[in-house]
Structure 1
Amino acid sequence: MKTIKRQSMLYKTGVEYGDYTLNHVQGCAHGCKYPCYAMQMAKRFGKVKTYEDWCEPKLAENALEILDKEIPKLREKINSVHLCFTTDPFMVGYPEVSQMSIEIIKKLNAFDIKCSTLTKGVSPIELSQLSKKNEYGITLVSLDEDFREKFEPNTTHFAERIAALRNLHDAGCYTWVSIEPYPSPNIIEQNLEDILKAVGFVDKIIFGRMHYNKLVTEYKRNKEFFNRCANIVIEFCSKNNISYHIKKGTKSST
């Protein structure tokens, strides 16, 4: 795996449900085609030139050394650290990334800093041996494998994601699901309640609409559709005692 060196790792996130974050990999082999906002930003700022460049990830080889310097300075400001907003901490086909992610979490936990993870890969059971304050999540916007192969071509199967997360839940870990970016019916016809039932064991669900895709904007009833979906999530979570967060911009006036 190719490597890079970074000057810094931890930074304050602008995401409404986040605190601090770090991205110890440049690029992502999963190659999502929603399109991927992280890839768009990387191209805009000259970090990668093509989709192919983006799909050849580079690991920040000095991530742990940087954290040794940054954590003591920032520990009083940090409530939690998220892995990751612009890459995947358990990237399919790259065990080096998963190993680094676990070492990063251990280092942060040693300073009593809570971590959260979000993956389209397999959440390793080793996470269950770390701090019980941590929160482990998967992205799940469908149960349809044809959809996955088209829009998330190099990710792990949906059923495998769910099973690995269920194993962490059964081991006493806090688990969550990000149902974002959720597609409109002209992209795929599916039942949101089926997805919710498949992950009904989790502690938290985050729901958000698909953006940056012209098919969504071409769907004339998209506002009504996403409002209805958000209400389905709220009702399901309320009935099943699951925490939820509806992403900004998902619900709107019709």
Structure 2
Amino acid sequence: MESNFRKGQGAQRNELNRFDKYTFEPEDEDVENVKVSFTEVFPKTVVNKITSPDLFMEYSLNPYQGCEHGCSYCFARPTHEFWGYSAGTDFERKIMVKKNAPELLEKFFRKKNYIPKTLSLSGNTDCYQPAERKFEITRKILQLCLDYRHPVSILTKNALVLRDLDILSQLAEKNLVSVSFSIPTVNEEIRRKMEPRTSSVANKLKAIQILSENNIPTGVMVAPVIPGLTSDESLTILKTISEAGARSFGYIIVRLNDTVKPVFINWINASFPDRAQKVLNQIRSMRGGNLGEKRFHERYKGEGNIAGMIHDTFALGKRKFFPNQEHRQLSTEHFTGSRDQQLRLF
């Protein structure tokens, strides 16, 4: 049943770039042998101001473009096409690295009349993807936030965040940091196929426990909720993350816009052929007959009976496992406007 499934990757092939007439597709036997490559890029700015009315982020920063984690449903895949690559295999194997991100961020912090607002890491791609082990850009950014006493939030799927526990602990002392883990499933078999190069479920839960024990506010984003595949886990996920020490949670129903759609369709057919059509049909039932949704506010809610049952389940889970859910507002009062070298002494 799963003979066509390519292990260790979400995209089962390279998809046609919507801006190009042609795309490069390796021979089947070569696809799994394509190594990850890293290309240094030199952006003029790295901080993005968030203007979407249904997002609560204010500024975001992504040290990497593309993501090795390989999640088939990743909404960031189409952004790779603007660089001339495919949203398919290229997104997972051709990673662009912004080594000058810390330098550009410091210039941003030092702008005249800059008013500090929380900086969100991983608004698009994961700041703790495997590339971070080598380049350590995220660690340098966190150190800058500590030096300038600037608030920062992190969203990741990787327990590599624990490497920076020393900096995170110091940030937390002044209410300058929060960490969220993306956990769409606590079924390890499904996790290995859904997000093949992320941390295991056990390692994510252990990371939540360790961060919480070190008084670092830690939450979970249950995303995406996929009907017919992970939606029946919702209460189990909330119970599990609550016991691990998570203080809050959010959730998002799956949506498959642009070239995410063919990537996901190929993935679900290859990895879960027995339930693929059921999953796709249930997604369509929540999206007005489509697989995607771009309308603000509506894109996160869905519609119809299945979406309603998902919302009701999470409402029940909140009452049962997170009755005193905490969404902490990070502090901006400590921002110095210049690098605090004294912090380096401690």
TM range (shorter): 0.7 to 0.9
Correspondence for 2:214 among 171, 174, 178: 171
Is 1:148 matched with 2:178? Answer: no
User: Post-superposition shift, 1:228?
Assistant: 1.6
- Secondary structure, counterpart of 1:198 in structure 2: helix
Closer, same or farther: CA 197–66 of 1 in aligned 2, 3 Å: same
Deviations 1:175-222 (A, max 9, x none): 1111111111x2246332211111112222112211126441247732
Correspondence for 2:147 among 100, 110, 114: 110
Q: 1 or 2, which has the higher strand percentage? A: 1
Identity rate, percent: 19
Query: Which residue of 2 is the match for residue 204 of structure 1?
Result: 248
Range with bigger deviation, 85-94 or 168-177: 85-94
Correspondence for 1:138 among 181, 188, 202: 181
Contact 1:136 1:176 in 2 (8 A): yes
Query: Which residue of 2 is the match for residue 251 of structure 1?
Result: none
Is 1:129 matched with 2:169? Answer: yes
Query: Which residue of 1 is the match for residue 138 of structure 2?
Result: 101
User: Please, what is the CA RMSD of the aligned residues?
Assistant: 2.3
Range with bigger deviation, 73-82 or 199-208: 73-82
Q: 2-side partners of 1:143 and 1:193: how far apart?
A: 11
Q: 2-side partners of 1:104 and 1:147: how far apart?
A: 33
Give TM-score, length-normalised by structure 2. Answer: 0.64
Contact 2:157 2:182 in 1 (8 A): yes
Letter in 1 for 2:68: A
Query: Which residue of 2 is the match for residue 252 of structure 1?
Result: none
Q: 2-side partners of 1:187 and 1:39: how far apart?
A: 21
Looking at both structures, which has the greater relative contact order when contacts are Cα pairs under 8 Å and sequence separation is at least 6? 2
Q: 1-side partners of 2:113 and 2:47: how far apart?
A: 11
Query: Which residue of 2 is the match for residue 249 of structure 1?
Result: none
Q: Which runs of 4+ in 1 moved over 4 A?
A: none
Q: 2-side partners of 1:243 and 1:61: how far apart?
A: 35
User: Post-superposition shift, 1:125?
Assistant: 4.5
User: Post-superposition shift, 1:172?
Assistant: 1.3
Q: 1-side partners of 2:45 and 2:128: how far apart?
A: 21
- Secondary structure, counterpart of 2:111 in structure 1: helix
User: Post-superposition shift, 1:5?
Assistant: 1.4
- Secondary structure, counterpart of 1:70 in structure 2: helix
Q: Gaps spanning 5+ residues in structure 1: where?
A: 245-254
Q: 1-side partners of 2:232 and 2:70: how far apart?
A: 23
Deviations 1:25-75 (A, max 9, x none): 010001101x211012332x3452242221122210111221221111177
Closer, same or farther: CA 17–131 of 1 in aligned 2, 3 Å: same
Q: 2-side partners of 1:74 and 1:82: how far apart?
A: 21
Query: Which residue of 2 is the match for residue 248 of structure 1?
Result: none
